[in-house]
Amino acid sequence: MTKFEGDRDASEDLERIRALMERATEFSNLSGWSIVISGLLAAAGAGECWRRNVDFDLPFHSRVLALVWGSVFALAAIQGLGFSIVNARQKGEPVWSHLTRQVVVAMLPALFCGAALTGYAFQTGQLDLLPPCWMLAYGSSLMGLGLFAGRRFRVAALAFLVLGAASLFLWKEHGLVTMLASFGGLHLVLGAWVLWKPRA
Amino acid sequence: MEASSVSRLNAVIHERARLGIMSVLAARPSLTFGELKALLDMTDGNLSVHLRILEQAGYVSIEKKFVERKPQTSVKISKKGRLAFEHYVQVLEEIVRKK
């Protein structure tokens, strides 16, 4: 006959089931270091633009901006992917799991919007739209990731969205500072948070 | 606590480790042995023993294959297992309500 041993009871079991089900659907292959590196790459990108005296409010800077920020985003994506693959392998998990596919599907539409708006901004020479558009698209994408990766990613997503919207209406002309504060600063804070508490 | 409700709890699932395995498989229908081990913080031996019992009950199916030339064991919850788990949770909720 079944019975509850020791202190165990039905409500404790229900709570444990709920916690385990939540944990099972949590995407935990993200590395705090990779987020910190993304922040440093964005800071390096902003630094390189300052060094070359290039900013988002001047249309004839489009080639340099495309080169610098294209490199920053590509390097950030490659190293982030690399860290996630290493984490998954260390835990004996498949790299392309059902959960990973769900995370990618949640993130892709917003990233696609960001890419489309980037193309439009370069085509029309409205480069000052780029930082707010990138922040809004990335923030939306991060919110999708946050559904699987925990509250702190949703907090960071909200910060990107608020800063992106504010930047669009209030300080479009300060693109580099915005990029440094958001893709640089917010990533450093989020990365430090993940390193400090790996499982939120 | 009502003894008759407790006695209706499925004895195979009721064991603490197996309840953990069924809980995570209810959330993610297919998991590798490594994922299960990490999620539940169990040893290889302990996890194998409980998986075998769940497999014998028809609640999970275990498949062994090679991925990138490395052996990989994946565990899936069966329809019978899902129904048994859902019934187990219903009985637990009933017990809590009656308390």
> Using one digit for the tens of pLDDT, what is the confidence trace for A88-116?
887 767 778 778 888 999 999 999 999 99
ipTM of this model?
0.87
DSSP state, A182? I
Nearest CA in chain B to A20: B24
CA dihedral sign of residues A22, A24, A30, A32: positive
Q: Distance between CA atoms of B12 and B70, rounded to whole angstroms? A: 32
SS3 category, B58? coil
Amino acid at B19: L
> Using one digit for the tens of pLDDT, what is the confidence trace for B16-69?
999 999 999 999 878 889 889 988 989 999 999 999 999 999 999 999 988 777
DSSP state, A94? -
Q: pTM surpassing 0.80?
A: no
Which chain A residues touch B if contact means CB-CB below 8 Å?
A: 1-4, 8-11, 13-14, 16-17, 20-25, 91-94, 97-99
In Å, what is the CA distance from A182 to each residue of A15, A29, B81, B83? 38, 23, 47, 47
CATH, range B3-92? 1.10.10.10
Q: Distance between CA atoms of A110 and A112, rounded to whole angstroms? A: 5
Contact (CB, 8 A) for B17 and B36: no
Q: Distance between CA atoms of A127 and A121, rounded to whole angstroms? A: 6
